[in-house]
């Protein structure tokens, strides 16, 4: 959510028209969802939820870090 919020904030703060902001905001949201799905289903398909329930927070932290990183990269690329 932080990465997505950063992207939406950057798009809204640098847009000239509301239609421009909506279009680029939707592109940013779609890119964030695509990256999440790639991470979830391609890079971490063999990780069991039992490990997370046992207290292994590595998976959650990794997804958190990737989400923020991708959000910042998108925010930088969408600002003009």
Residues 31-54: pLDDT tens digits? 888 888 887 787 766 666 666 677
Look at residue 73 in the predicted model and tell me its pLDDT. Answer: 79
- Count of Cβ atoms closer than 10 Å to residue 67 Cβ: 19
> 3-state DSSP call for residue 44?
coil
The two tokens of residue 12 are 């809204």
pTM for the structure as a whole: 0.66
Rg of the Cα atoms in the chain: 15
Query: Which of 7, 14, 15, 22 minimizes the C-alpha distance to 69?
Result: 7
- At residue 26, does pLDDT exceed 80? yes
The two tokens of residue 64 are 């958190």
């Amino acid at each position: 959510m932080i990465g997505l919020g950063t992207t939406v904030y950057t798009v809204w703060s640098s847009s000239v028209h509301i239609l421009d902001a909506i279009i680029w905001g939707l592109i940013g949201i779609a890119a964030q969802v695509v990256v999440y799905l790639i991470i979830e289903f391609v890079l971490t398909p063999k990780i069991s939820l039992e490990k997370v329930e046992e207290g292994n927070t590595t998976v959650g932290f990794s997804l958190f870090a990737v989400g923020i990183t991708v959000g910042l990269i998108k925010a930088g690329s969408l600002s003009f």
